Amino acid sequence: MNTHIVRSYDEELKYLGNRLAAMGGHAERMVDQSVLALVNADAGLARKVIADDAFLDDAQREVDDKAIVLIAKRQPMADDLREVIGAIRIAADLERVGDLGKNIAKRVVAVTEGRQPLSLFRGLQALAELALTQLKDVLDVYASRSVAKLALMRDRDDQIDAMYTSLFRELLTYMMEDTRNITPCTHLLFCAKNIERIGDHATNIAETVYYVVTGEQMPIDRPKQDKSHNVVFKDDAG
């Protein structure tokens, strides 16, 4: 739109940073509202979240296009090039977070047809809160460039995985207690998985930020704590 304005390189980088900040805020809000829609069986709010996703798709394309034009035009070296590549990666992660929020919103009707105990929603809400704090913190680190804080995020990532595994187990138990719970709880399982994946995207962004700031790859991943794939009930005939 403002193609007639010649921006300085720093201004162009700053513009990308602002777009990413807007994308981050938008993605957080979508996830937050999708969980709220689930808890309150609010189909209207769910529809709003689904419609809101278009903003992130457009913003990602814009960041990509601008970043590539920037590289081609300015031919940045080392540090600056990392900034631009980092912006492309972070935009992709944020767009995916929005997709996950949209997917939760799409399940609202299927979930709220049944009657789930509030404790399950509480578990999901707590998981979402943790994942969103993680996302918010990593975007703060990106804005402030204080990578030392990334180390603190590790513990919370483990917490998210542990909470997800326990929620997975709880949902299975509930399905076994009453077959009428199977359909809604299956959708809740996918919602929980989506939220756990938001934590993974926050981790991806942390790795990108580390790379942008230091020029090095973050030390290789610690073992994953998501143990849900092992969950088996031996005594599940009940």
SS3 sequence of 32-81:
HHHHHHHHCCCHHHHHHHHHHHHHHHHHHHHHHHHHHHHHHHHCCCHHHH
Among 13, 107, 163, 199, binds a copy of itself (CB under 8 A): 107
What sections of the chain are H helices per DSSP?
9-39, 43-74, 78-106, 108-112, 118-144, 150-177, 182-214
Report the nearest approach of a copy of itself to the CB of residue 156 (Å).
21
**Residue given tokens 């010649």 in the structure block:** 6
- Binding span for a copy of itself by CB under 8 A among 17-25, 120-128, 132-140, 176-184: 176-184
Q: Which residues contact 64 (CB under 8 A, 6 or more apart)?
A: 88, 91
Report the nearest approach of a copy of itself to the CB of residue 137 (Å).
23
Please name which of 12, 133, 40 lies closest in space to residue 141, comparing C-alpha atoms. Answer: 133
Does residue 8 interact with a copy of itself by CB under 8 A? no
Among 2, 3, 8, 179, binds a copy of itself (CB under 8 A): 179
Among 34, 103, 165, 203, binds a copy of itself (CB under 8 A): 103
Report the nearest approach of a copy of itself to the CB of residue 186 (Å).
6
Does residue 47 interact with a copy of itself by CB under 8 A? no
Alpha-carbon span 19 to 236, nearest angstrom: 50
Report the nearest approach of a copy of itself to the CB of residue 68 (Å).
6
Q: Is the CB of 60 or the CB of 134 nearer to a copy of itself?
A: 60
Among 187, 192, 196, 205, binds a copy of itself (CB under 8 A): 187
Q: Is the CB of 133 or the CB of 186 nearer to a copy of itself?
A: 186
Among 92, 125, 156, 159, binds a copy of itself (CB under 8 A): 92
Does residue 9 interact with a copy of itself by CB under 8 A? no
Report the sign of the C-alpha dihedral through residues 172, 177, 183, 187, in that order.
Answer: negative
Q: Which residues contact 124 (CB under 8 A, 6 or more apart)?
A: 35, 38, 39, 167, 188, 191, 192, 195
Alpha-carbon span 28 to 127, nearest angstrom: 14
Report the nearest approach of a copy of itself to the CB of residue 233 (Å).
5
Q: What residue ranges bind a copy of itself (CB under 8 A)? A: 57, 61, 65, 68, 71-72, 75, 77-78, 81-82, 85, 88, 92, 103, 106-107, 109-110, 113, 172, 175-176, 179-180, 182-183, 186-187, 189-190, 193, 217, 220-221, 229-234, 236-238
